[in-house]
Amino acid sequence: MTVINFRADAFSMMSGFSRKPRLGESLLLVLAAAVMIALAVGAAVQADECDGLQEKPCGDGVYYSDSAVRNIYISGNGTIKDYFFAETDCKHVIISDKVTIGASAFEGCTSLRSVEAPFSVTIKESAFARCSSLEKVVFNNAESVGTFAFAGCTSLTKIDLPSAVTVGDNAFLGCSSLKSVSIPSAVSIEFDAFVGCISLSSITIPASVTSIGNGAFSDVQFYAPPSSEPLAKNAESLRGYEYRGSNGSLYRYGEVPASFPPAEETDRTPVIAAAAVLAAMAAAMTASFVLKRKP
């Protein structure tokens, strides 16, 4: 670790004065020294966190290291073993290479707050299911999202999957806080993909979509004003447009005339209850896999 001689630096800064420094000048010197110390301490903390971390295998051709604050760093080109990190207390996951995230690899990590993967990843079934504290997901190049991949992630408010071609069935089941979805390259949205997403207020169905499964958007209605009749929830009716709205009613963005009546406020309690039941069903379905996990 580099040691900085702040005392010598301070005296060298003062040597140019032929008089006693004024109060303001002294305060500036003290402030400068304090900033230098803060920067050095910050660098030392970061170095202590990263230096000496031993890489350990977590699958075929994939390795991880973890810090005392439960940051998980993953590297390599391969597949993270199924259930490898399931139900651990990790808080942040950073994936630095092209990796396949195995089935239920992080399932039930209720302390997990963020996942970042700047390179190409494939997300297998239930990979992040029941991660109830997960708030931030950054996948710059996710090729596919498996079934139940984010089921029960009740704190997730936004998902951006710029390269995902397939969104699997029940992928976001019970994500009751999810408001914004971006899937600009999607071709297939499988059945029940967004069931229980009762807070959804913004989504673009790209023109590339050729298939939307039954129940994919069972908790929202889509409209194309001036018609007050909801659109059919299939690729032919929805693709190629951005939709925004609230209270379960989404309208083609930019096409809502001032005279069009706003959606009526409705009691969402039954829908919320249904979403909770669906999330419980997802947990029950994936729990059987956890029981098979080897220590």
Among the listed residues 95, 205, 104, 179, the one whose alpha carbon sits nearest the alpha carbon of residue 142: 95
CA distance 101 to 88: 16
Mean pLDDT on 40-58:
55
What mean pLDDT, rounded, does the chain reach?
Answer: 79
Map out the domains of the chain as residue ranges.
6-49, 56-290
DSSP H or E run through 64:
strand 56-66
Model confidence over 145-203: pLDDT tens digits? 999 999 999 999 999 888 889 999 999 999 999 999 999 999 999 999 999 999 999 99
Question: 295: pLDDT confidence band, cut at 50, 70 and 90?
Answer: very low
Confidence band for 54, pLDDT divided at 50, 70 and 90: confident
Give residue 262's pLDDT.
44
Residues contacting 263, CB < 8 A, separation 6+: 245, 246, 247, 248, 249
| Nearest alpha-carbon partner for 216 in 152, 155, 173, 272 | 173
**117-151 residue pLDDT tens:** 988 899 999 999 999 999 999 988 888 999 999 99
DSSP 100-142: EE-TTTTTT-TT--EEEEEEEEEE-TTTTTT-TT--EEEEEEE
With a CB cutoff of 8 Å and minimum separation 6, the contacts of 112 are: 90, 91, 92, 93, 106, 128, 131, 133, 134
* DSSP H/E element including 212: strand 211-212
Q: What is the pLDDT of residue 34?
A: 52
